Structure 1
Amino acid sequence: MKKHLLIASRNQKKKSELEDILSDIDVEIITLDDINEIPEVIEDGSTFEENAIKKAEMTAELSGYITLADDSGLEVDYLNGEPGIYSARFAGDNATDEKNNEKLLDLLQNIEKEQRTARFKCVIAISIPNGKTYIADGECNGIIADTPRGDGGFGYDPLFIPDGYNESFAELDKEEKNSISHRGRALKKAKKIIDDISIK
């Protein structure tokens, strides 16, 4: 019987990405859609780590499941690290990926390639109900493209070209992206944690 790991998200693309990366671990990933309704956790921390820990600990406590939460985002050097922790709502509350990407491109209009450097960051928190919380992190450096490229992935993937590549995250196949992405790198560090702890 597979062990269960709850991710503090309803994002099915994120679930699919996690399933691919953790495919060699005997664990079944469930999302907030698979359990009884619990309140949305407000991400009001000042760092990715604060937000990830808060989401993981509150969701674990409310659900009774060992919970994985991640907070990740894009930091653009020309924009002094923005959008950062506000990546998901860069274009306003309830912003779509398309609107966020449009705003980013507008802010970088006519900016030369050398000044379009950026990085994706991810912090993962794994929380045991009424117990310990473990942390893993990862990042991936690259540049922001002039126009969206590719139809894979989600978020800013069509605009992010990782160092050493000519393709955007949205153009790479899943295996290639997961091997170099910020979330993939963080999850590699988290694998041993997930495998070692007792999951119901």
Structure 2
Amino acid sequence: GTESQVGAARDAGVARFLYLSGAGADPRGPKHWFRAKGAAEAAVRESGLSHFVLRPSWVFGPRDVALNRFVPLARLPLMPVIGPGTQRLEPVFVRDVAWAFGEALDRGTEGTFEIGGPERLTMDDVERTLLRVLGRRRRLLHVPAGMIRTAARALGHAPGPPLTPDAVEFLLNDALADTAPLVAALPGLPRTRLEDGLASYLRRRK
């Protein structure tokens, strides 16, 4: 785990430690992934190493296993949405996250920062944007959260399940970030809109 990595870095004389966490990380958080990330952050902070911790809201990009799972669903007559579709999200493009890490390393930036995209969207907004980029017109179908949870548990042991129980719970919660401190620390931080980021790789697949 992160504790072992931090110890190995310290033993090897590594000067700086960069860690990718997640928005909402907290050792006392309501979900186990918040608590796990919070404990990992604590290990980094207590290591004595110079460190840069980044907490993204909801990362998307060519190889993500979250938003991209919805791409095949756009072929259906109706586009399914998990839950009410009112969950608030700030999708952040993976290239923007990578830029932040690179700049932090070059500039010697230290501390813990959140990063989100430039737009605050609902899940409905996210799926409509995805459909628009794919050039498809579909009505949204809101699937009750309980039904999705049951299906995810049933498919949980299948190879490569479309949605795991943890993924369902994550998608039912807000994923927001306060990016202002990071913008101040790293001037020039790119802020890629969801539609532009999706178009950069999805339009080649159509």
What is the TM-score with the length of structure 2 in the denominator? 0.28
> Which structure dedicates a bigger proportion of its chain to strand?
1
> Which structure dedicates a bigger proportion of its chain to helix?
2
What is the TM-score with the length of structure 1 in the denominator? 0.29
Bigger RCO of structures 1 and 2 (CA < 8 A, at least 6 apart): 2
